Structure 1
Amino acid sequence: MFQSIVTYFEKQSFGVCTYLADKLNMSISKIRLFFIYSSFLAVGFPIIFYMMAVVVLDVRHYVKRIRMRIWDR
């Protein structure tokens, strides 16, 4: 039961922790724990940062996809 919940959230996540872990060459679990612990300490500021990163990464992915279409013609 718990494993199915974890896999659901990992599939539905936005990829911010994965992106940061790849760029910083760290483990994904350490990045996730940092967001969780800092959310308790900073009263939600990391959640705002996370949502802004979601928007930036989504726009970046969209622009990259459009750019590839232009050069494919």
Structure 2
Amino acid sequence: MNRLTDFIETQSFGVCSALGQRWGFSTRSVRLSFVYASFFTFGSPIVLYFAGVFWMNIRQAMRQQRSTVWDL
């Protein structure tokens, strides 16, 4: 089961694993927090999840577009 969730997370957006690494929590606990919060608040953390996806994609695009002084 753990391999399946890791596969889904790596093939999807990776927000939970990025948050877990940044804050020092396990990916599983962050993922479970999103699931529980979604049940208790009727899905509103999904909006936060997609905001995280958007932010991660913007950061990745900004890193790819940056050029150094030596790239001339």
TM class by shorter-chain length? 0.7 to 0.9
Structure with the higher helix share, 1 or 2: 1
Paired residue total: 70
**When the two structures are superposed, what TM-score results if normalisation uses the length of structure 1?**
0.82
What RMSD over aligned residues (CA atoms) do the two structures have, in Å?
1.8
Percentage of identical aligned residues:
31
Displacement over 2 Å in runs of 4+: 2-8
1:10 to partner: Cα distance: 2.7
Further displaced range: 36-45 or 6-15 = 6-15
Alignment of 1:31-70 (within 5 A): 31-67=30-66, 70=67
Residue 21 of structure 1 aligns to a residue in which SS?
Answer: helix
Give ranges in structure 1 of 5+ residues lacking alignment: none
1:13 to partner: Cα distance: 1.6
Return the alpha-carbon distance in structure 1 between the equivalents of residues 54 and 47 of structure 2. Answer: 11
Return the alpha-carbon distance in structure 1 between the equivalents of residues 53 and 35 of structure 2. Answer: 16
